[in-house]
Amino acid sequence: MYKNVIVVGAGGHAKVIADIVRKSGDNLIGFLDDHKEPGSAFFDGFILGDTESYGEYPDAQFIIAIGNNAIRETISKKMGDVSFYTAIHPTAVIGEGVTIGEGSAVMANAVINADAAIGAHCIINTASVVEHDGKLASFVHVSPGAALAGTVSLGERAHIGIGAKIIQNLEICADVLVGAGGVVTTSITEPGTYVGVPVRKVK
């Protein structure tokens, strides 16, 4: 039985999510967005209303398609106990024993290997890799082409930039941003922005 899905947000990331909804055989009802005119066309659907209007759709499932981790968290908490949709692209490879929290998205060609645990409202972006036994807290974003070796853990709202790499068995605390192409070789215990090979803290 297909699901009726509303995508929250109407930017580039929302297009990718809408595409996954369709490719999964589910029914895209439309988009909620605070900055676009209700009734206007967007991508392959329509803007239904602003993000406050989710209550008008009690039978729908929702997915928050906003790349900013903190905004995704705020909106998900405001929406409370609605039913959240988990989007998994048909080409994603999901290993045995993997768990994926509600509202998370796994994009095309991503690989999540055995016994990894992904929190709620995470983004496992295009062609990224979460190796075996990874533990990702909620509201995390692993950007396109980023790779986490085995048994890496990420705290809430961690953002691993495009093409970044993290070697095995490391723990990265909450609110860490690893810049594009960064290589993480030791655990990170302080929130902030880390760039370079190996990464150093810049903010």
Ligand X SMILES: CC(C)(COP(=O)(O)OP(=O)(O)OC[C@H]1O[C@@H](n2cnc3c(N)ncnc32)[C@H](O)[C@@H]1OP(=O)(O)O)[C@@H](O)C(=O)NCCC(=O)NCCS
How many residues form the binding site for ligand X (CB under 6 A)? Answer: 14
Comparing CB distances to ligand X, the nearer of 91 and 193 is 193
Q: Which of 143, 147, 171, 183 binds ligand X (CB under 6 A)?
A: 143
Q: Which of 98, 161, 166, 176 binds ligand X (CB under 6 A)?
A: 161
Which residues fall within 8 angstroms of residue 74, CB to CB, at 6 or more apart? none
Report how far residue 71's alpha carbon sits from residue 99's, in angstroms, rounded to the nearest whole number: 23
Q: Which of these segments, 87-95, 98-106, 110-118, 174-182, binds ligand X (CB under 6 A)? A: 174-182
Give me the least distance between CB of 59 and ligand X, in Å please: 31
Report how far residue 130's alpha carbon sits from residue 104's, in angstroms, rounded to the nearest whole number: 14
Q: Which of 75, 151, 63 is nearest to 107 (CA)?
A: 63
Comparing CB distances to ligand X, the nearer of 4 and 193 is 193
Residue at token pair 């068995």: 169
- Binding status of residue 170 toward ligand X by CB under 6 A: no
Site for ligand X in 57-116 (CB under 6 A): none
Comparing CB distances to ligand X, the nearer of 25 and 196 is 196
Q: How far is CA 170 from CA 4, 49, 75, in A?
A: 39, 42, 30
Which residues fall within 8 angstroms of residue 47, CB to CB, at 6 or more apart? 10, 30, 31, 32, 33, 36, 37, 38, 39, 40, 41
**Dihedral sign, CA of 59, 65, 66, 68?**
positive
Site for ligand X in 113-132 (CB under 6 A): 125
Annotated catalytic residue 89: no
Report how far residue 128's alpha carbon sits from residue 107's, in angstroms, rounded to the nearest whole number: 8
Q: Which of these segments, 26-34, 88-96, 98-106, 177-185, binds ligand X (CB under 6 A)? A: 177-185
Q: Which of 108, 117, 174, 180 binds ligand X (CB under 6 A)?
A: 180
Site for ligand X in 183-202 (CB under 6 A): 193, 195-196, 202
Sites of contact with ligand X (CB under 6 A): 125, 143-144, 161-162, 177, 179-182, 193, 195-196, 202
